[in-house]
Amino acid sequence: MTVHTQHINMTRTPLPILPISLGVLFLGTAITMPFWGQAYWLHEFVNISCFFIFAMMWNLLAGYGGMVSVGQQAFFGLGGYFVLAMGNLAGVSPFIGIPLAAILTAIMALPLSKLAFRLNGGYFAIGTWVIAEVVRLTVANISIVGGGSGTSLTAFRGVDRVFRQHMTYWIALTCVVATVALILLFLRSKQGLALQAIRDSEVAASSQGVDVIRMKLAVYVVAALGCGLAGALYFASNLRISPDAAFSVNWTAFAIFIVMIGGVGRIEGPIIGTFVFWLINHYLSDYGTWYLIGLGGLAIVMSLYMKDGLAGFIHRKTGKDFLSIKRIYRSK
Amino acid sequence: MLLTVENAHKSYGALAVTKGMSFSVEEGETLGILGPNGAGKTTLFNLISGDVSLDSGIVHFNGQNITTLAPFQRCQSGIGRSYQVPHPFGNMTVFENLITAACFGGQMSEPEAYDVAEEVMNSMGLTSLANQQAGSMTLLNRKRLELARALATRPKLLLLDEIAGGLTEPEAQELVTELKKIKAKGTTMIWIEHVVHALLSIADRLMVVNFGEKLADGEPMSVMNDPEVKRVYMGIEA
């Protein structure tokens, strides 16, 4: 993409052809999957999509915004609860409820940010976790959504099961594509420059005219929106929610794992990381405790020897960024 | 006056680092600041750029009271700053560092920022490093980038914090040549520096700071010959 021909000597990284064509191929296969795939795989795809969107958001927040949150499960759970509450109590179809729940979650993030943003660094991490616990305990005391034992999604009663599964799948697919596209476009925009600058040095960014506080708030709200979307999708697909499942810190732990394996602060990171996580989860999760010990061990090894993750490793070996957001200078 | 600092006070707990300092800088002027380590020179910059807020006192810039503005607003209003320890955006390229500064500090559109970045890279000798990751550069080049990035915000006032420190003599000379060009374009500068001869070759006025107070302020040579300055800064008893 050449930006403004009167400034001809500067070009942006061309939009990457290979990944885009692979993406189109993937999309073609994926869109038609309900017609040839098994219901099990559809369900599996929806679940992993939720992990993926959640991890993309954690990467945006921590990898680009420098806000290491351990409390994103607050928004995941809220998204889930919103979609179930709207469905069960107001009769809103969960298919419409999913995006609505995401928006409501983002609105909730505004007051919560007032609390979280009083803290920095490690304190921010702990603080966000505490906020998530407070949200969990609050929800567990609301009897209309089942209190501590949770509730089931009844809004789908009377909806054909196959139709429901296909619709949920397509919504998940749309959400995945939209998440990747939005983050890519955002990071390639002028605001994306500011976000990368903040990631590298907050002090310098603000001394260069970047409104760091507003930018971080925007990222926090967008991340809440995405986490809410992932949660809404997950619980609309799984039909049952409880405070312990919805607000479990494991959600964020898995997201951190995915991003660390894939490469923090890189847009390809969560894509690669989710795939690795899915492989491990799919084939090794029967090993129970050993599976979790293995995940932890792998994360430690990665953070010691491959800090920039698999995406960073590939970049170092091939010199290529597959979803590049770089601006390249070419002299006259 | 482009910049006026009136009766600035700043303490960290019981330690007063700026004790009621007042000074001003005229448009187009280059003010050099000297002082022993710990005298409060960098704090003075922090108070002007907004990184640290004043306990009491007023800062006026370009006819506006900027005392309560955030650092990013002060940058946008025309105060460019380089730090003593360079703070490059390490994972971004030199070119991206500069367009970020131009886009946000200079409040330009991206295509305009590209032109400014190119111009600044050419004048600072950074063009060949345009696509290099800023974090992987040598100290000299990081210092150059630090200055270039401040320039890309199109400042009216440039705050330079020990940019010649740690450079070899020829490198420092090169830097002075660059600064003279910037000065010739009419940019106002305040330069904190321990490399005194470099500072004297460009400063119109010299101010000496000690223990958060102004010790001397005036024509460079007469300030350097002041017995009190000699005693405090150079350890020469009159």
What was the pLDDT predicted at B238? 58
Query: To the nearest whole angstrom, how far is the Cα of A111 from the nearest Cα of chain B?
Result: 23
Last residue of some domain: B153, B183, B205?
B153
Task: Tell me the pLDDT tens digit for each residue of A147-201.
Answer: 888 888 888 888 888 899 999 999 999 999 999 989 988 888 899 999 999 988 8
Q: How far, in Å, CA of A145 to CA of A243, rounded? A: 10
Q: How far, in Å, CA of A241 to CA of A234, rounded? A: 10
Q: Which one of A9, A196, A213 has the shortest CB-CB distance to B89? A: A196
> Residue A207 and residue B72: Cβ atoms within 8 Å?
yes
Question: What is the CA A72 to chain-centroid distance, rounded?
Answer: 10
By the 8 A CB rule, do A326 and A320 touch?
Answer: no
Q: Bridge partners of B33?
A: B192, B207
Interface test with A, best of B66, B69, B114, B121 (most A CBs within 10 A): B114
> Residue A10 and residue B118: Cβ atoms within 8 Å?
yes
Same structural domain, B117 and B5 = no
Same structural domain, B171 and B221 = yes
Cα dihedral across residues A125, A127, A132, A136: positive or negative: positive
The whole-chain average pLDDT of chain B stands at 91
Task: Tell me the pLDDT tens digit for each residue of A82-108.
Answer: 999 999 999 889 999 999 999 999 999
Same structural domain, B236 and B131 = no
Interface test with A, best of B81, B89, B94, B120 (most A CBs within 10 A): B89
Query: To the nearest whole angstrom, how far is the Cα of B179 from the nearest Cα of chain A?
Result: 20
Same structural domain, B148 and B166 = no
Between chain A and chain B, the number of residue pairs with CB atoms below 8 A apart is 110
Beta strands in chain B (DSSP E): 3-12, 15-25, 30-34, 56-61, 64-65, 79-82, 157-161, 188-192, 205-210, 213-218
The verdict on B110 touching A (C-beta cutoff 8 Å) is yes
Q: Which one of A199, A209, A326 has the shortest CB-CB distance to B76? A: A209
Same structural domain, B70 and B165 = yes
Q: Which one of A209, A265, A326 has the shortest CB-CB distance to B72? A: A209
What was the pLDDT predicted at B212? 87
Same structural domain, B48 and B139 = no
Number of domains in chain B: 2
Residue A63, both tokens: 């990898």
The verdict on A114 touching B (C-beta cutoff 8 Å) is no
Task: Tell me the pLDDT tens digit for each residue of B51-79.
Answer: 999 999 999 999 999 999 999 999 999 99
Query: To the nearest whole angstrom, how far is the Cα of A273 from the nearest Cα of chain B?
Result: 21
The verdict on A212 touching B (C-beta cutoff 8 Å) is yes
- Provide the pLDDT confidence category of residue A12 given band limits of 50, 70 and 90: low
> Residue A210 and residue B130: Cβ atoms within 8 Å?
no
Same structural domain, B14 and B105 = no
Residue with tokens 């330690």: B15
Q: Which residues touch A83 (CB under 8 Å, ≥6 apart)?
A: A94, A97, A98, A100, A101, A153, A231, A232, A235, A236
Closest C-alpha to A270, from A100, A52, A101, A67 = A52
The verdict on B115 touching A (C-beta cutoff 8 Å) is yes
- Strand B64-65, strand B56-61: pairing: antiparallel
Same structural domain, B160 and B145 = no
Q: Which one of A6, A208, A327 has the shortest CB-CB distance to B149? A: A208
Question: What is the CA A6 to chain-centroid distance, rounded?
Answer: 38
Same structural domain, B72 and B188 = yes
Last residue of some domain: B131, B153, B175?
B153
Same structural domain, B139 and B164 = no
Last residue of some domain: B129, B153, B177?
B153
Same structural domain, B6 and B73 = yes
Q: How far, in Å, CA of A164 to CA of B9, rounded? A: 67
Q: Which of A176-190, A311-325, B113-127 has the lowest mean pLDDT?
A: A311-325
Instruction: List the domain range (segments joined by +) for residue B142.
Output: 87-153
CATH number of the domain within which B8 lies: 3.40.50.300
Same structural domain, B72 and B98 = no
Q: Bridge partners of A329?
A: A10
